[in-house]
A and B are shown apart, each in its own frame.
Chain A
């Protein structure tokens, strides 16, 4: 049954995308580690980390697409789940520093010593164990999504209202994490990591493994998302998006369907955050900023929502553009981003992938029509798929 579930997920495009991702996951680290630095094919470590960062963003955008593109929930707070996953990872990395911190305290991270704390707060316990930390990467965002969704979906808060309260959620979290008393490093966040599972986070080898892991996790999540979308459950999901009341009248528990999708999506966002932190080397409350979450929405919209592959392409393209612009013309990045928001919503509502698909389907339909014309078959034209 599981195999059937997975098998259905694999249509041509998904297979191709996973193939490309896995190939990149092997090729890029290989070009970094095995090719000598003076070769034209060598990929420097910073470039690899940058690409790793894009893959994490792509995973975040994929997570958002699952709820927005297929379930119709526009979450403006997905950055919060991403950041929570990142903080869980950051806490593990902080505990790994041990007595190598500036103050040399074997138990307390530097910022706690600086704030004159005497003992580790209870919620920091267990984060010295990697498996526990990884569990928290999934559980914390998932739990928040569950609680939030439980209340919101049951009382049928939807559409714009839901978007606004998700934004309020991430804003409240940002304010909370900025406080020093919270015990998460306040303004400065968690940084200055030394090693992960005994390997130095700065080393090329570790960076290469992290990149490969990002590619792998992205492929895996893409597979899961695709399996969900293509299952019977996925059909109901699209039904909820397009006609919520009708699905409810047919006897489905709409709130449970939404809740499940929301929680899965939040966990994916958490994984993205956890992979992001060791590659970037810092996590701070700025990641909770509402503007970040809205940017994720744009990546998804640019790539094409409701396509799964689109958001991945969108996230990579927009972020590559951002890296280019902020380096070359820092003044113009916000103009470009703002313009992109407007242009995409006005002229490209289906996004890049959606538009290509639409054109493709349209061409196929025309071709079929031409064939029928030849065969003197005058049945009604099938409508182009949305």
Chain B
């Protein structure tokens, strides 16, 4: 209680000391007019007094002053806000906002403003608008004070705080008050409390505010200050780490999406499908076409464009995959290196075909509203599109896993992989299983393309950028094992993002490639190697 009354006494003192007697009774108009022949230093004082008056009518005049639109009439030093009107200036009364006619430019002299003055004006405005009747204006003003703390605002903030009823604005004002208080000459106890309030804000800004006041504070507070900064920094380091992991998981999910189709065609069937990247590209282009049709026919469905594009992309790429398997690959079973060459040829043809049809430039694929924007989670930002892509890739992964492990088709697929001749003699139509497995792998690449169209450029080269990464993921994770692909993709993603800050993006990627090459020397069959007879097949 005693503390509070002390504070109030201080406040009153400060208020009085700020308002010099000569101007105490002067109204805003006189103050404004005195700007006419003030130098920068005096102008700063006058702005401070205008701010202290708490008169909301001076806001437009101050704004105009900061913009350099405030002029004084040479004849009587009256100050006006002006607007250029041809060769003349239109005058506006600074307080009432009413028009006051036009005069020739020569009759007015500009009230000059420099950067220092602009800052003073900005903080004065911040203080003034704290009392505005509009809630959002007050919130903005409190944020402005928070961003550029100065002791001069303290009284205004406190005055505004007493009147404030809105809880959100109030909370912001409490923070603004703490920030302003730190640079004022209040007693150490008040400052200690302020440090706590600022520390609870968190983030880099809070550290900056505390750091900047480190030298100016009372020595007894130094310990609190250091502790608060250390606490904030460790918290920040934690969230940085979390953010890094998140980026890594996000990159890993992209890799997983690109690689999961390959895990089937390469991992399960042993086909080196170099056209895999082009399947991803076809999926992305399917999305583009679907969005194009929706835009011109039913724009209200745009938010549904991705769910619509999914089955379309799956069908398109699965059919292309089926055609490739029946037309080329089935003649090459047992000759993996030849398959590699033939599918590379197919990838060249597909790329050129897309280039001929859609042109070589990037196509615009829009984000539906639920894919754009971001939200904050603790101290990190999470964009919705990354979030959905992680969810999507995991969904696909588990759906595929269920298909492989729980369905009749999956059983046949695994049987054919493990022992083709035995499976055939049990009555499984192995050519059909081959064709549909390849179509499934291609179709999954297609729906991966739908997701990747949201975060990458949709161009004929889209697939090329993923093909090497996808092979790395599958080989690293272990061929023939879906879990290996998941673990491989996430590991490589996180590893990449952790190397990036210290060595840069490109070098990080090179290091990851080199690490994979070395890793394969150590474990030629990947992380999760198949055991038993299948290895030699």
* A129 proximity list for chain B (CB < 8 A): none
Give the distance in Å from the alpha carbon of A20 to the alpha carbon of B472 in the complex.
44
Cβ A342 vs Cβ B342 within 8 A: yes
Cβ A159 vs Cβ B336 within 8 A: yes
Give the distance in Å from the alpha carbon of A67 to the alpha carbon of B472 in the complex.
23
Q: Is A89 an interface residue (CB 8 A)?
A: no
Interface string of A335-362 (1 = CB under 8 A from B): 1011111101110010000000000000
Give the distance in Å from the alpha carbon of A171 to the alpha carbon of B516 in the complex.
13
Give the distance in Å from the alpha carbon of A35 to the alpha carbon of B484 in the complex.
66
Query: Which of B337, B349, B506, B521 is in CB contact (< 8 Å) with A335?
Result: B349
Q: Is B352 an interface residue (CB 8 A)?
A: yes
* B521 proximity list for chain A (CB < 8 A): 151-152, 154-155, 157
Give the distance in Å from the alpha carbon of A64 to the alpha carbon of B347 in the complex.
22
Cβ A161 vs Cβ B506 within 8 A: no
Whole-angstrom distance from the CB of A345 to the nearest CB of chain B?
Answer: 4
* A168 proximity list for chain B (CB < 8 A): 468, 471-472, 513, 516-517
Cβ B351 vs Cβ A334 within 8 A: yes
Q: Is B522 an interface residue (CB 8 A)?
A: yes
Chain B residues numbered 339-366 whose CB sits less than 8 Å from any CB in chain A? 339-342, 344-349, 351-353, 356
Chain B residues numbered 479-537 whose CB sits less than 8 Å from any CB in chain A? 506-507, 509-510, 513-514, 516-518, 520-522, 524
Cβ B351 vs Cβ A155 within 8 A: no
Residue ID in chain B nearest A155 by CB atoms = B521
Whole-angstrom distance from the CB of B488 to the nearest CB of chain A?
Answer: 13
Cβ B332 vs Cβ A345 within 8 A: yes
Q: Is B323 an interface residue (CB 8 A)?
A: no
Could you tell me how many residues of chain A have their Cβ less than 8 Å away from some Cβ of chain B? 42
Q: Is B338 an interface residue (CB 8 A)?
A: yes
Q: Is B176 an interface residue (CB 8 A)?
A: no
* A290 and B341 contact, Cβ closer than 8 Å, known pairs A171-B513, A335-B352: no
Q: Is B331 an interface residue (CB 8 A)?
A: yes
Give the distance in Å from the alpha carbon of A344 to the alpha carbon of B272 in the complex.
17
The A-B contact count (CB < 8 A) is 115
Cβ B338 vs Cβ A345 within 8 A: yes
* A196 proximity list for chain B (CB < 8 A): none
Q: Which of A117-125, A175-183, A225-233 contacts B (4 or more CB under 8 A)?
A: A175-183
Cβ B338 vs Cβ A338 within 8 A: no
Q: Is A164 an interface residue (CB 8 A)?
A: yes
* A247 proximity list for chain B (CB < 8 A): none
Cβ A161 vs Cβ B520 within 8 A: yes
Cβ A338 vs Cβ B506 within 8 A: no
Query: Which of A152, A175, A341 is in CB contact (< 8 Å) with B506?
Result: A175
Chain A residues numbered 287-328 whose CB sits less than 8 Å from any CB in chain B? 290-291, 294, 297-298, 301
Q: Is A172 an interface residue (CB 8 A)?
A: yes
Query: Which of A179, A337, A344 is in CB contact (< 8 Å) with B348?
Result: A337
Q: Is A213 an interface residue (CB 8 A)?
A: no
Q: Is A243 an interface residue (CB 8 A)?
A: no
* B349 proximity list for chain A (CB < 8 A): 334-335, 338-339
Give the distance in Å from the alpha carbon of A10 to the alpha carbon of B354 in the complex.
49
Whole-angstrom distance from the CB of B305 to the nearest CB of chain A?
Answer: 30
| A residues in contact (CB < 8 Å) with B | 74, 148, 151-152, 154-157, 159-161, 163-165, 167-169, 171-172, 175-176, 178-179, 290-291, 294, 297-298, 301, 331, 334-335, 337-342, 344-346, 349
